[in-house]
């Protein structure tokens, strides 16, 4: 497998795996996670070439698990091996005064938890646009980056208008992490064109709708709320309902099943490849339910998969029947505000 199929240069000093291990699932609401099993499985992901990790200061204990993983990896393979790991976390403060002390204290806590000297990228999320102190936070994050405690500053769930404001004020932004899937193509409207124009990468999440985009739900009746047993499934079922509902979703799954069988891969592989082929997307974050379920070998098939025009046309025939989520919800991240 050619490395270029599996990895991408996100910045001159950082190359990532195009499928990023997302750690929201360890923070609760996705089943009990055994810490020892979780860290052990993180080593297996690394050995399989899935070397890029996405976490957040509010995803406790994700940063701590990563720190344990780092220490074990160094003990097993030496300090040099740590250069092959890429670690992103998020800075998700409660709105309020964004002083240097507030920002730096959070970053230093993440550094300690993650057992790193420098964080590869801190992705900043802000809950309330009416509070413009997010610009103060960006100023301090940029200074901390320039001083070497973090390598890059990215964003999470910012809309195009606010990203444009930050770009106009001279802030250097590496990426924006937003929801992007066959179901939710809102980034196509404004975010992706803006990011391409300004050299900002998109990191996508929600690409598999928490597992709904899989054979498990093909031909099945609509699940009840209680049957959706993770926070991810509940969250993305709401998105699916807004998009067009269960019957249209079954139509989409049937089409994806035909395409997946043609290529000898899974429905999840088709859904992942679809988003990775978007020009502004550098990588897609797929959640890891460490110690509960793993999809390393299945995910690896994405790298050699090439979708054809016929495949895209079949998908578009279904998605063109859906409601316009941009009109219903708004731009990227507006569902959080």
- pLDDT tens figures, 254-289: 999 999 999 999 999 999 999 999 999 999 999 886
**Most confident region among 18-27, 58-67, 135-144, 286-295 by mean pLDDT:** 135-144
Please state, in angstroms and rounded to a whole number, the distance separating the CA atoms of residues 192 and 160.
9
CATH number corresponding to 15-336: 3.20.20.100
Percentage above 70 pLDDT, the chain: 95
Mean pLDDT of all residues in 127-135: 96
**Do 210 and 232 contact (CB within 8 A), yes or no?**
yes
Q: Is the pLDDT of residue 2 over 60?
A: no
Residue 63: pLDDT band with limits 50, 70, 90: very high
* Among the ranges given (1-15, 169-183, 229-243, 264-278), the one the predictor scored with the smallest mean pLDDT: 1-15
Percentage above 90 pLDDT, the chain: 85
- List CB contacts of 7: < 8 A, sequence separation 6 or more: 15, 16, 17, 18
The two three-digit tokens of residue 91, written as one number:
């800075």
Please state, in angstroms and rounded to a whole number, the distance separating the CA atoms of residues 212 and 173.
32
- The pLDDT value recorded for residue 230 is 82
Please state, in angstroms and rounded to a whole number, the distance separating the CA atoms of residues 297 and 275.
19
**Cα dist. 68→23, 46, 114, 151, 187 in Å?**
14, 14, 8, 21, 35
Nearest to 122 by CA among 91, 163, 162: 91
- The pLDDT value recorded for residue 28 is 65
Residue 3: pLDDT band with limits 50, 70, 90: very low
For 190, half-sphere exposure in the C-beta direction (CA atoms, 13 angstrom radius) is 14
- The pLDDT value recorded for residue 257 is 98
Q: Residue 212 belongs to what H/E stretch? A: none
Q: Are strands 14-17 and 7-11 parallel, antiparallel or unpaired?
A: antiparallel
158: helix, strand or coil = coil
More confident residue, 244 or 226: 244
Token look-up 């994700």 returns 62
- Indicate the average pLDDT of the chain: 94
Q: Is the pLDDT of residue 62 over 90?
A: yes
Token look-up 């939710």 returns 184
Q: What is the pLDDT of residues 158-204, one digit of tens each?
A: 999 999 999 999 999 999 999 999 999 999 999 999 999 999 999 99
Nearest to 69 by CA among 282, 291, 286: 291
**Cα dist. 144→92, 111, 122, 152, 166 in Å?**
16, 12, 10, 10, 17
Nearest to 96 by CA among 56, 63, 126, 52: 126
Mean pLDDT of all residues in 322-332: 97
Q: What is the pLDDT of residues 292-305, one digit of tens each?
A: 556 788 899 999 99
Q: Is the pLDDT of residue 327 over 70?
A: yes
Token look-up 């344990």 returns 68
Residue 60: pLDDT band with limits 50, 70, 90: confident
- The pLDDT value recorded for residue 1 is 35
């Amino acid at each position: 497998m050619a490395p270029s199929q599996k990895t991408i240069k996100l910045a001159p000093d950082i190359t990532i795996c195009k499928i990023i291990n997302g750690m929201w699932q360890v923070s609760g609401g996705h089943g009990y996670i055994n810490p020892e099993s979780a860290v052990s499985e993180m080593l297996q992901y690394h050995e399989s070439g899935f070397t890029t990790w996405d976490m957040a200061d509010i995803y406790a204990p994700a940063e701590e698990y990563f720190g344990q993983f780092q220490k074990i990896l160094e003990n097993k393979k030496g300090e040099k091996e740590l250069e092959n790991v890429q670690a992103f976390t998020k800075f998700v403060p409660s709105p309020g005064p964004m002083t240097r002390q507030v920002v730096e204290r959070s970053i230093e806590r993440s550094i300690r938890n993650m057992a790193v000297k420098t964080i590869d990228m801190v992705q900043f999320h802000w809950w309330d646009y009416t509070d413009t102190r997010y610009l103060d936070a960006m100023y301090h994050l940029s200074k901390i980056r320039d001083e070497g405690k973090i390598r890059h500053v990215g964003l999470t769930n910012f809309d195009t208008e606010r990203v444009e404001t930050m770009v106009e004020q001279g802030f250097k932004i590496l990426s924006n992490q937003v929801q992007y899937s066959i179901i939710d193509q809102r980034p196509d409207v404004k975010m992706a064109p803006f990011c391409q124009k300004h050299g900002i990468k998109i990191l996508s999440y929600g690409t598999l709708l928490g597992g709904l985009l899989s054979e498990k739900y093909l031909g099945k009746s609509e699940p009840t709320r209680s049957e959706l047993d993770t926070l991810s499934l509940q969250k993305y079922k709401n998105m699916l309902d807004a998009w067009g509902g269960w019957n249209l979703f079954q139509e989409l799954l049937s089409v994806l099943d035909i395409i997946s069988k043609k290529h000898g891969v899974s429905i999840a592989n088709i859904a992942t490849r679809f988003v990775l082929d978007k020009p502004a997307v550098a990588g897609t974050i797929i959640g890891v339910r460490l110690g509960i379920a793993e999809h390393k070998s299945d995910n690896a098939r994405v790298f050699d998969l090439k979708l054809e025009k016929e495949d895209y046309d079949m998908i578009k025939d279904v998605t063109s029947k859906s409601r316009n989520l941009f009109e219903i919800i708004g731009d990227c991240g507006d569902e959080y505000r």
